[in-house]
Amino acid sequence: MTILHADGSSTGSPNENSLVVRLTLGSTRILLVGDAEAGGRKDPSSSASPASIEGILLACCTSDLAANILVVGHHGSKTSSRKAFLDAVSASVLIVSSGPNKYASVTLPDPEVIAELTAHGQVFRTDQDDAACAHNLAKVGPDNDGKPGGCDNIRVIISGANIQPSYWHGSEP
């Protein structure tokens, strides 16, 4: 496990304190970016703000970002997943944990981000690919707290060259 970003300072948003971790499992690399952002809600073709987590990582450690699997930042919001960042990661499997509930006034993931992700590889989405999430209007599992979000439990099974995300709810292992 390599920690690429950790910042415990006081910020205006907890997203600015997102931990970014790259797991290396044999020849497979998985990049977990949490709620790391690239700046305000902008089109993925926009540049990341230099002060954002994506901007900082692009400036310092582009070669460390390369991964086979990316768990997409900030639930597929236009606040993250800029094209330059996705190009640096170069993942062929992209996983978006989102839905079905709105985050403030938006429903994530944003279509513009999904289009960009699809151009980079195979996209798996909890809001569409997780059958329990698609049929449950409330959040499921331990996060069923009435707050925005939900359907974000992901299990990735790696068997040789085969990578398959699956989903679980509640106390399942």
Q: What's the CATH number where 89 sits?
A: 3.60.15.10
In a domain, 145, yes or no: no
For residue 99, the enclosing domain spans 2-127
CA separation for the pair 149, 129 (Å, rounded): 16
pLDDT in tens, 158-171: 776 666 666 555 44
| Residue 56, domain member (yes or no) | yes
Residue 152 has what pLDDT?
A: 60
pTM score of the predicted model: 0.84
The total number of structural domains that make up the chain: 1
The whole-angstrom separation of Cα 164 and Cα 47 is 31
Contacts of 11 (CB under 8 A, 6+ apart): 17
Q: 98 lies in a domain?
A: yes
Domain annotation covers residue 123? yes
Is position 161 within any domain? no
Contact between residue 30 and residue 71 where contact means Cβ atoms under 8 Å apart: yes
% pLDDT > 70, the chain: 75
Q: Is residue 93 part of a domain?
A: yes
User: What is the block-wise mean pLDDT of the chain (173 residues), using blocks of 10 residues?
Assistant: 88 81 92 92 95 94 95 91 97 86 77 96 84 57 53 70 60 43
Residue 35 lies in a domain: yes
The pLDDT of residue 139 is 52
For residue 88 the two structure tokens come to 């640096």
Is residue 37 a part of any domain in this protein? yes
